[in-house]
Amino acid sequence: MQKISIQGIQYDEKSSYQQGPSLAPPLIREALNSGSMNLFSENGITIETSRIEDKGDFKIENYFDIEDITANHLKEGRKIFTLGGDHSVTFPIIKAHHEKYPKLDILHIDAHADLYDNYEGDKYSHACPFARIMENGFAVKLVQVGIRTLNPHQVDQATKYNVDVHEMKNYDLNNIPKFENPLYISLDIDAFDPAFAPGVSHHEPGGMTSRQVIDLIQSIDCEVVGADIVEYNPNRDFQKMTSFLAAKMMKEILVKML
């Protein structure tokens, strides 16, 4: 059976608005292990297993080191679960996955499409990772859920790269397609409504409930080969509620990968 490595990527240099997500990985683990919750997912599977190994946190100085760190962990024959970090970390992570998974589908849950060709002159901004992934052909199918910030440029980009965008205003779990290839899940915490997850840099009202995202994850019935949880900003959190939500999502996604 396939094993999983957890890696914390402490990096937020490509955040356009506020720093903070580099502080997230240890705080999500702290919530997970606080004794407040048990380590079982809702479907009764525990993440307390020798099949999950925590590689600890990596403080990143050079953005492109993220690819090397991920590639080294992949070489051990394990799936990778990443605690970010801002959303820029997803491009080098997916780049590292490409050799092993040349046909990869991606489920991207976010308030934002993150499809800018560049943002404020930076092609690797946290507003751009899915443009980089698609122009490099690193995903066969990209399905975006929770989106509520499209502008004309990003609509053009979504059309150019044939992205299946499920905007929040039309969201219906029944319309989310089935995946045929190995699946990577990228969960930006700002997909949740700020009422559920205040600890994010970009508060975007009108978002998903915790229940909607959990149901979406639980509905997946293909093989999940990798995942990340990004954009938790502890500087903006209230009563640690966002770190506890991130920890719960970590459990639900990890058991899908087991």
**Site for Mn ion, rule CB under 5 A:** 87, 110-112, 114, 188, 190
Strands of the 183-188 sheet, one edge to the other: 52-59, 4-10, 79-83, 224-230, 183-188, 105-109, 141-147, 164-167
CB 213 to Mn ion: min, Å: 13
Determine the Cα–Cα distance for residues 109 and 54; give it in Å rounded to an integer.
24
* 188/237 with CB nearer Mn ion: 188
Using DSSP's 3-state secondary structure scheme, residue 11 falls into coil
CB 193 to Mn ion: min, Å: 12
Determine the Cα–Cα distance for residues 7 and 62; give it in Å rounded to an integer.
16
CB 150 to Mn ion: min, Å: 12
CB 2 to Mn ion: min, Å: 27
Q: In this structure, are residues 187 and 228 in contact, taking their beta carbons and an 8 Å threshold?
A: yes
* 67/110 with CB nearer Mn ion: 110
* 78/108 with CB nearer Mn ion: 108
DSSP state of 196: T
Using DSSP's 3-state secondary structure scheme, residue 162 falls into coil
CB 190 to Mn ion: min, Å: 4
Q: In this structure, are residues 155 and 171 in contact, taking their beta carbons and an 8 Å threshold?
A: no
Using DSSP's 3-state secondary structure scheme, residue 54 falls into strand
* 155/258 with CB nearer Mn ion: 155
* 89/96 with CB nearer Mn ion: 89
Whether residue 85 is preceded by a cis peptide bond, meaning omega within 30 degrees of 0, is yes
CB 89 to Mn ion: min, Å: 10
* 78/231 with CB nearer Mn ion: 231
